Structures are given as C-alpha cells and as structure tokens.
Amino acid sequence: MSAPADVHAFWVLLGRAASQPVTDARKELYRWLGKQLRPGREVELRGSGESKSLTFEEVRTDAGSAARLLREDTQPAADAVVIIDLSQTAYDLLREPFLLHVGQAAMEFADRPERTVILVLPGNAPASGSLLWLALEGGEAGPSGSLLVLDRTGAVESRGAETKLPAHFARNFGTRASRLDASVQDRFESKLLRRLGHFDLGALNRKAGKDLCSHHFFDASACIEELAVLLDRQLSGAISKGGRPKWMLVSCGSRSGWTREAAMLAADLAGIDHGEWPRRPTKNPPKEFVGRNLALLFDVVRSGDSARLALEAARRWQDVQVKLAYSAVGPNRAVRDLPGGLKLQPMAKRSLERVPRDRCPQCELELPFSDPEPGQEQGPLRAFDLWSMLLDVDWLPEDYGPRNAERFKSSPDFESVFKRYGDFLAYRYELLLNDLDDNELVVASPDEPAVGELMRRLSVRFDDRIVWIGIPREPVLECVREDGAESNVKALLTKHAEETWARQLSNVRERKEAVVMIDEFNGSGTTAQSMANLLKGAHVDVRGFLPVVDRRPSVDLGAIPIHPLYEIPRPRR
Amino acid sequence: MSRDGAIEPVAAEECRSILHYLRGEKDVWKRDLLLADFANKVDALSPGLADAMRELAIRSCLPQQGPRPEIGKILREDTRAPKLVDVVITTVTPLEWRAARNVFAVDEDSLQVHNGRLYYQLKLPCRAAQRDLEVVITSIMRPLNVRATKALSEIRHYFQGRIYFLLGIAAGRQGRVELGDVVIPEEVLYYPPGRRRPEGTEPRNPHKEVPEAVQRLVNYYEPEQTGFYDCLAAGIRGFATGDLPDGLDDSHRPSILANNVVLASGEELIQDGLLSDLFKTEERVAAGDEEGFGFAEGVGDSPWAIFRGISDYGVDPKPNNWQYVAVYAAGLALRDYIENDFDVPGSETF
C-alpha cells in the first residue's frame, strides 16, 4: 500500500491581525482536493491548522510579507499537494503587488516535478494583464511541477507539468467550495438588522390614515449585495432574456437608501433598467415608466397597505403594467388582496410587529421616537430595549464563573439573548467599536458558549473581518492574581504555547496590534481583571473592555477603559 | 452618568421603562435586578419626580386590584411642574365658593379639575403691576386646619402662586367688629395647644404672622377711594332674597379692619363666646375660624393673607343669613385690593 500523500494547505486571510483556526469544512475541502490529485492514495493534511493572516497595512507596505509567511513553514514533501487558498478575501483587496509575490511563492513551491500546487482565488480569475499571470509565467521552461489556478466556480488554468484531472473536477470543486459559505439567502437573513427602539410608523403610513408604532425597524444596508443577488435570481427566473428591455425594477420606499441601492444593483445584474417610485402621488406616470413592465421593490411590507396604495395608483396610469412585486422584508403570512391579483414575494420573512399608538406601551411611557436612520444611537442601550431582551429569555442559575465567588442564582440566558437579538447587539457593538478601532479588529474573550454566539453575530456584522481569540477559562482563571505578575503569565503562555489562543496572542503582539475585551457581563470584575492581567503579561495592548451588561461598574482595570452597552450595579458577592 | 462621562442616559425615560417591566414581573430574581437598575437611575431625577417614581416602584410590589393605571398618566399627574400664577385664592365652604365665583365673575370655560378639586383661572387688572394678573380660585372644600394644610400642599402641586389668599367667613368678637365687616388679620393665633395641668391648661399658642410686605400693602388699602362701596351696593342689589339678612339694603357699609387684628384659629366651631375669653390673653383677637392657621402653615414660605367676612359673633344663636353677604364683602374687598393696591411679590414696590 502506498504512503499517504501530503496535502499542505495555506489558508491566507487578509485584514486580520491574528491567525484563525482552519474550519473542519475547509480542511475537508483540502483533503478532497488532495484525493482528486493523488487518486488511490490516502491523504494527510499538514500545516499548522491555522490561517496565515496579514493586516491590510502589512499588505500595503510590504507586499512580500505574504510570500515570507508561506515560506516560513516546514517545506512540503516533494510530492505534496500544496494549496494556497486566497478565496476568503474579496478580490478587490488583493492588490497586484501582493498577487505578484504570492504567484512567485507558488512558482517556488511548484519547482519539484512531483509536486502539485493549487492556487485558489476568490471570484473569477484576474484579468490577463494581472501581475499574477506574469509571476506564473516563470522562465521559458515554466515550473517543473504542475500548477493549477482555480477560481471559486472551479474554472481551471494550469501551468507546468500536465495534470490529469478527474471528470467534472471543476464543477465538483465549485459545488464543494460554495458549501463552505452560507447561502446567499442565509447571508442576507443573518445580516439583515432588526433594530430595537420606538419607531414611528405613523409618519410612514399617514396616507393610510394610521398612527402606528413599532419596537423594531429593519435595515438591510449591510446586505445590499445579498439582497441584489436574491432579487436578480427572482427577476431572471421571471423575465425572459428577450423581454428584458421592456422591464424596469422600481425601488419604492424612499426612506431607506439601501432599497434604492439594492434595486440599482439587482437591475444591473438582471440587465434591466432601474427607476424610482415618485415621492408624491401623481396623476400621470413618470415618463420613464410609460410602456414598461414594472417590478416593484418595497423595503419593509407589514400589512401590505403601502403596497396596495402604490399598486392602486399604478392601475390608474395609462400604459404601465406592474407585473411583479417584491419586498426586502415581509410578514410571515401572505399579503392578500393586492390589486391585480399580484403576489408579493418577500426576500426575508419576519414577524413584523406594529401597534396602534393608543396601545403602544412606549407611547404610554412617553418614550421619544427613535431615529430610523441607522448609526444615530448614542450611549448605552435604552432600558426598554435591554429589558425586553433580558425578559424574553429564560433565566438560569449561572453555571460557570470565577472560582471562590458566589454564582448568580438566576441570570438571563445570554446565549439565547444573542441568538435572538445578536444582530442588534452586534450593530450596537459596531457603533462602539468604530470609535475604538477602524482597522483589523481582534476581540479577546473567555471561550464560553454565550460569548461564542455573540462573536458569531459580530463576525457576520463585520463581514468575517474579525478575529476572535477565545481563551479557555482555565488559563484565564490562573491569572486572577491582582498583581498580574508578568513572570506568571509568561510561564502560562509557555505552557499553552501550542494552543491556538496563545499563538493568536503572539501574532497580535508581534504585529503590535491591539485587542478589545468583550464578555456577556461583568459580574464582579474578576474575569475582566484576569483577562487584563493575561493580556498585559502577554504584552498585548488592550483598547477597552466592552461587556454587554456591567454589573460592577466600579471595577478598575487601570488604563483599560470600560464601555458597557448597559450598566446595572448589582455585583456578584 | 457612566464612569467616563461619555454616556448620559435619559434617566426619567429609563426609570419609566423599568417601572413598566417591574409592574408585570413576579420572578423575585428578575425583580431584584430590575430594582437595582431602577435604584441606580432614580437618584438622578429631581426629588419630586424621584419620589413619584419610587412610589410606583413600591406599588409594583403590592397585589394589583382593579384596572392598572397607566404609568405615563400617573407620572403626568404626579410629576408635572406646578403652573406659576400671580395669585391663588382659596375658599372653604360651598357658600364661600359660590360667593367667590360671583365676585370674581369666573368664566366656566376656564374650569380645570385636578385630582377632583376645581380650579378657575382668570385675569385681573392690577394698577400697581400695570398688567393683568393670573389668578386661580379654588377651594379647600372641608373645614379644619389640618385639612387646610393638606389641601394647600396639593393645590401648590398644580399652581405655584406668588401670593396665597384665604377667603371666607369668620366669627367676630362682639364689641370689636360688626356683622358684615371684613377682617384682614396681621397674625393668626392657633389657640388649642397647651399643657394640661390639674389646675388648668397653660397655653402654648403658636402664631403665624402675615409677611410684613403684605401687611404694609394692606395698610395702604383705602376702600373709600376705590369705589368698593359702590360695587358692594351694586352687588347687594343683585342678591337673591335668601342671601340677604333681614332689613339689609344697598346702603350697607361694612368696615374693613386690617390694623391690630388677630385671627384666632382652632378646631372647633365657636358658639360659646370663646372669642371673648381669648381677648383676655390677646387683646387684638377680632375673629375666629377653623382653617386660618392650617392655611398659613400650608403655604410654606410664600406670601399670604386672609380676608374674612364676619357672619356671626361665635355665640348661640347664629345669625345664618349674614354668611353670604359677609363673604361677598370679603371677596369684593380682596378683588378691590388686588386691582388697586396690591403689588406682585418680587416686584420693586412689594
């Protein structure tokens, strides 16, 4: 039986100040690639199991840094399959000098006759004039091994020795690679923001003679591309290629700029025109609508009243046909009785609360209306919102926490809070973090289930550009000592040197980047103090401590500022 | 405010929100954290608002009976800032209330009701202030000093007067005053307190003195110069028969007494000649009532004065048919005084 083939994979991530563990699904893809190129052999995955991460600053100032990162690992076996995976970084962030150096590194790896190098790019392959191709030209003879360049769809360019690929290799790779990412629908739904507040819907529905409020307000400005892709799929399925010149996608809902942007992008993708619904009712249709079939895009449709008004108006217009109606967000139940028998197709369905003003609890409490424009929230969470979240989940006895400290007998199940309201909390964290750090974001926290869920939501909000250093509780607790003696931490880091979190801290320290500490709540300050001691001992700069709920606001972390989303002075005893 | 001053929560809104959740929450641990949150924020409020909020928080611990009142409505009632007006006039009995409404010709459209108490708002021209004054007329509604103090506390919650007047009737000391006269006391003597000994009661009578600036202005008041008596005669001509004492006509010219006048105030209706007894210890005692001292206590540090019409002599039998004309005359004197010689506290001439 032949020896296992080595698969040496480099997962290159840009915009990160520390490495990240390679996910199991990605490792599986790498193994699959190995088996395709070494048929009949078992494969063994080599490498550190972590990403090769670079900050944008490093890419900008030292394009060769990536190649050095690749070369610093142990050399792959002579017949190894070497994978350089750039697929996770948006193509426009891969600068040409960077591609040149990566291409040169790939050529060096391919300089063994038995070796196969695979370079995986994001999206479609770069244009023919790209420095990447220049690097891959090599000398007159080209590489002695074989070199394949794949894009995410599986399209293949090859260099050097001929590689015999199995049937349907490209298609199968494209399918498997696409499984690594959440579907567009999932991405759209997870990035769709449901802000909490007190929103005046009356101003939006006055034409319908209603004064309504809502505790929620939806915002898709962070997922315009996903919305556009979903719309394009709908439009492409509904409109024949030949009929497209007659069609126009019209954005309705002028209050949200994202509706317009998404409609413009979707129209561009679908190859049809884009228009905007008139702001005021008009007797005659806008000139650009005349003779057209219209597909309308509404932002949020709750009862369908606003859609009905628009469609009624359109029915009175001469020579305009509204044939399709979409909404970014729609109610869980079907919107009935739309004029012309139209069906509204929502891209995401949600429970859409709206309350007549005379029954609105926030109106009764005389709470002011929230600004529907995102990014306006200042300061801590509103008490109404915080408590609506905390009281919406079970309260459980605290099952982990500092040693020798009383556990809370009943505390909100923050994991459920983050599952239900993580989009909103991530958005509020974004507002806080934007003030602290505008480059690579590294977050350190105890590696616990609740905060892990919060980090997942933060990662979605930050388009995966966030590095989470989840430190297991044991090492955190070992740093409880108030003095945070450096020698103790040094010994601790040495003891755990092979663990991911310790290597990530090492990355951050070497790059002189800073981290922020996040936790679900600060109960006594012990964990926060321990984390601060650990990070200080690891010579990592801490920009701030950002608990969701600070139950001991008096805790002193020295120079580390504390910015909680909410304060309730009720510490652990 | 949070520790670094970067975050400034709107404490009142936050407290109302927490109260909203407190009211519906029974779980002891959730309530504990809600109350901790509430306690942390309520101290940032003004004392009156904080007290109202705390009361609601305490009420949330009690079993709820009947429909739950709205927090916003309660707080609007409990925590609104009192409206600043120039003059607050209060009466006690329904007859006094009726007379005051007639004398000041209240507009029924100006009627307001706060916590079941009626208030009329009107404007009176004031020669000294050279402007119309904002005047509120209301009623203590029930006799006795303690009730007067309590009522004034409530009235001041809605209307903050620059000056407060008590208008009504009183028993007069025979020999010093005549029926129908008007007394404007310099002091109120609270006559019940004392030390009871086997040999008798040793008086311990507190006094309330009308602020000197008010006394001075009252002393300048000359009803003969203002047309007061003409107005009174005109008013009497319009009285219903039942409101007029037998034989009284529009030639009635009551005296208005403001010098060396003390009002004796206690908790009993005087019909046993007590005023003559009190004269032995305080020779300025000219009249007696059951609300004057409580009223003067209830206005706190604000300026005040009392206008009382003499309707009887504090002995049996009482001549009941002098009550309306007495209070009418006192009310008319008060109105005449405000329009002609009164100046607003805080002004240069006050």
Does any CB of chain B come closer than 8 Å to the CB of residue A382?
A: yes
As a whole number of angstroms, the distance between CA B325 and CA B338 comes to: 20
Residue B51 in contact with partner chain A when CB distance is under 8 A = no
Q: Is residue B155 assigned to a domain?
A: yes
Residue at which a domain ends, from B62, B79, B96? B79
pLDDT digits (tens, 9 = 90+) for A408-448: 899 999 999 999 999 999 999 999 888 775 567 899 999 99
Q: Averaged over A302-323, what is the pLDDT?
A: 87
Task: Test A364 with B8 for CB contact under 8 angstroms.
Answer: no
Tell me the ipTM for this assembly.
0.80
Say if B1 falls within a structural domain.
no
Pairing of strands B159-172, A52-54: unpaired
Is position B350 within any domain? no
Q: Does residue B6 lie in a domain region?
A: no
Residues of chain B in contact with residue A543, where contact means CB-CB under 8 angstroms, are none
Q: Measure Cα distances from B323 to A502, B43, B175, B334 in Å.
A: 95, 51, 19, 17
Distance (Å) from the C-alpha of residue A332 to the closest C-alpha of chain B? Answer: 28
Tell me, what's the pLDDT at A468? 92
Chain B within 8 Å of A392 (Cβ-Cβ)? Answer: no
One domain for residues B137 and B284: yes
- Cross-chain CB nearest to A365 (options B16, B29, B34): B16
Phi/psi-derived region of residue B208, left when phi > 0, alpha when psi is between -120 and 50, beta in every other case: beta
A60 touches chain B (CB under 8 A): no
Check A553 against B2: CB less than 8 A apart. Answer: yes
Q: How far is A568 from chain B (nearest CA, A)?
A: 5
pLDDT at position A518, please? 95
Is B40 in the same domain as B189? no
Q: Give which of A105, A113, A108 is closest to A161, Cα–Cα.
A: A113
A561–B4 CB contact, under 8 Å:
yes
B-chain CB neighbours of A569 within 8 Å are 36, 40
A454-510 confidence digits (pLDDT tens): 999 998 888 877 889 999 988 888 876 655 566 678 888 888 988 889 989 998 998
Contacts of A409 in chain B (CB under 8 A): 29
Which run of H or E residues covers position B33?
helix B28-42
A534: left (phi over 0), alpha (psi -120 to 50) or beta: alpha
DSSP A408: P
Searching chain A, which residue's CA lies closest to the CA of residue B13?
A: A367
Model confidence at A321: pLDDT above 60: yes
Nearest Cα to Cα of residue A535 among A14, A18, A53: A18
Range of the domain at B45: 11-79
Are residue B46 and residue B97 in the same domain, yes or no?
Answer: no
Q: Are residues B165 and B32 in the same domain?
A: no
- Which residue among B79, B103, B124 closes a domain? B79
Q: Measured between beta carbons, which residues in chain A are less than 8 angstroms from residue B29?
A: 395, 409-411
B36 in contact with A, Cβ within 8 Å: yes
> Which chain B residues are within 8 Å of A563, Cβ to Cβ?
4, 6
Extract long-range pairs of B59-66: CB within 8 Å, 24+ residues apart: B60/B19, B60/B22, B60/B23, B61/B31, B64/B23
Domain locations along chain A:
5-181, 193-361, 383-567
Same structural domain for residues B171 and B102?
yes
Total structural domains within chain B: 2
Q: What pLDDT score does B276 carry? A: 86
* CATH architecture, domain A193-361: 3-Layer(aba) Sandwich (3.40)
Least CB-CB distance to A361: which of B20, B25, B33?
Answer: B20
Residue B327 and residue B267 share a domain = yes
Question: In chain A, which residues have their Cβ closer than 8 Å to the Cβ of B13?
Answer: 365-368, 382-384
Give A525's contacts in chain B (Cβ within 8 Å): none
Q: Are residue B200 and residue B159 in the same domain, yes or no?
A: yes
Residue B137, in any domain of the structure: yes
Interchain contact A365–B (C-beta under 8 A): yes
Q: Are residues B297 and B233 in the same domain?
A: yes
What pLDDT sits at residue B205? Answer: 86
Nearest to A553 among B3, B13, B70 (CB): B3
Q: Residue B294 sits in a domain of what CATH number?
A: 3.40.50.1580
Give the closest-approach CA distance of B48 to chain A in angstroms: 18
Tell me if B30 is assigned to some domain: yes
Is B347 inside a domain boundary? no
Same domain, B75 and B88: no
Question: Are residues B60 and B150 located together in one domain of the fold?
Answer: no
Rounded to whole angstroms, the Cα distance separating B24 from B28 reads: 12
Q: Are residues B67 and B92 in the same domain?
A: no
Q: What percent of chain A has pLDDT over 90?
A: 41
Q: How far is A384 from chain B (nearest CA, A)?
A: 5
**Whether B70 and B91 share a structural domain:** no
Q: What is the pTM of this model?
A: 0.66
**B17 vs A365, A378, A409: nearest CB:** A365
Phi-psi region of A15 (alpha: psi -120 to 50; beta: other; left: phi over 0): left
**CATH architecture assigned to A383-567:** 3-Layer(aba) Sandwich (3.40)
Contact A327, A346 (CB under 8 A): yes
Question: For the segment B207-220, what is each residue's pLDDT rounded down to a tens digit?
Answer: 999 999 899 888 88
CA distance B28 to chain A (A): 9
